[in-house]
Amino acid sequence: MANRRATGVTLGASALAVIVAAHIGVHAQAPAPKPAAAKTAPVPKTPWGDPDLQGIWTSDSENGVPFERPSEFGEKQVVEGEALDQLLEQRAEQRSNVAPVVGGETGAGPTHWYENWTAKSARTSMVIDPPDGRVPALTAEAQQRAAARAALRGGRGPSDSWEDRSLWDQCITRGVPNVMYPTIYNNNTRITQAPGYVAITYEMIHETRIVPLDGRPHLSGKIRGYLGDARGHWEGNTLVVDTTNFSSRTNYRGSNETLHLIERFTRSGNGVRYEMTIDDPHTFTRTWTAALNLTPQSGMFEYACHEGNYAMKHILSGARADEAAAAKEGRAPRTDGVGEER
């Protein structure tokens, strides 16, 4: 204690502990260094300074993920371990059962025909909000519209006319956001950028959306389109595309002219995170969001749907042949159609 007084230094408890430890042969341990924070790779930029989303991206790796989450997973967005093994086994069995009829009336083939059916995503659903992964209920207005459409089609088969077929069957469009979600093939999207614009090209039916980024307002509500009217802007490194003015002939889960689609594209690792939010109080009881993880793809193939559209010819001629056979056999003709879009 005399030495402490002589130096005029007051030692705290921790310093005394170090001195005591040294006297009894115990070496004080320095605090362990904190691990360095993981560095996030910088987002690439275009020559004019915008985040660079350019490339060809595919949703193949998300194939097999249900759009809505099965109830047994609750609010769990991903699974792992044995639960994942069981889930992938169930999906493989479902694919095997669905493969022969995936084309609806036109039929299809065995699972080895489908290049992306071996995808092994751990995600439990495309829908991420609401937390239960389920699409919100339809409003009373939307239910009335659906009933009116059903009544209008009363007594008609799915192939009485080319007008009874979907816009996809007619080689017009698969539509947004449907086209972003994986089907049996052509699940690729090309993003090209220029100062003030982004172009998004879909391999399925080869259509391109031109998205201006200059803050211009949406078109007049009198002008409608199958892909709506898109306007974009940047929120940090995320491209936000706001689309309205959809045609009455579009139909996304019961939503058409009142559909308001907000899409977000963000670089994530070596891929792109895609999220879409549906905001249509005329159709759904609340807004909801679904998401995809897109990975790099080497190229895109031609989608030659318009070159004769033999499928449409064969669907309609097949329906006429079935009607003739049904009349001859005294039975009702087939009335089953293709499955619903996501």
Peptide bond into 130 cis (omega under 30): yes
* pLDDT confidence of residue 241: 98
CB 279 within 8 A of CB 289: no
Based on the structure, what is the number of domains in the chain? 1
Tokens of 279: 């905001």
Torsional class of 207: left (φ above 0), alpha (ψ -120 to 50), beta (otherwise)? beta
End-to-end CA distance of the chain: 80
Q: What angle do CA 311, 316, 319 make, to 5 degrees?
A: 120
Distances from the Cα of 32 to the Cα of 62, 86, 224, 229, angstroms: 41, 41, 63, 57
Asked whether residue 30 is assigned to any structural domain, the reply reads no
- Please report whether residue 4 resides in a domain: no
Q: Residue 147 has what pLDDT?
A: 94
pLDDT value for 278? 98
Q: Are strands 188-194 and 197-202 parallel, antiparallel or unpaired?
A: antiparallel
Cα–Cα distances (Å) from 188 to 60, 124, 168, 295, in that order, read 8, 22, 16, 10
Q: Are 277 and 289 in contact (CB under 8 A)?
A: yes
Q: Is residue 107 part of a domain?
A: yes
| Assigned domain for 221 exists | yes
Which residues of the chain are under the pLDDT cut of 50?
1-29, 337-342
The domain of 208 spans: 55-325
Residue-wise pLDDT tens digits, 118-152: 677 889 999 999 999 999 999 999 999 999 988 88
DSSP E strands, the chain: 55-58, 127-129, 188-194, 197-202, 207-212, 229-235, 238-244, 261-268, 271-278, 288-296
Shortest CA distance to 183 belongs to which of 308, 298, 340, 297? Answer: 340
- Tell me if 292 sits within 8 A of 125, measured CB to CB: no
Residue 289 contacts residue 69 (beta carbons within 8 Å): no
Cβ within 8 Å of residue 9, ≥6 positions away? none
d(CA 166, CA 168) in angstroms, rounded, equals 5
| Dist CA 239 CA 264 (whole Å) | 6
Residue pair 192/65 in contact by the 8 Å Cβ criterion: no
Judge whether 67 lies within some domain: yes
169-216 per-position pLDDT tens digit: 888 999 999 999 998 788 999 999 999 999 999 999 889 999 999 999
Residues in the chain, total: 342
Residue 275 tokens read as: 């999220």
Residue 14 within any structural domain of the chain = no
- 2, part of any domain: no
Beta bridge pairs of residue 157: none
Is 341 domain-assigned? no
| pLDDT number for residue 117 | 65
**pLDDT attached to residue 114:** 65
Angle at 233 between CA 232 and CA 235, to 5 degrees: 140
Burial class (CB in 10 A: 0-12, 13-18, 19+), 65: buried
- pLDDT at site 131: 97
Cα separation of 218 and 220, whole Å?
7
The answer to whether residues 252 and 241 touch, using CB atoms and an 8 Å cutoff, is no
pLDDT of res. 304:
81
CA distances from 159 to 56, 109, 334 (A): 35, 22, 10
CB 135 within 8 A of CB 276: no
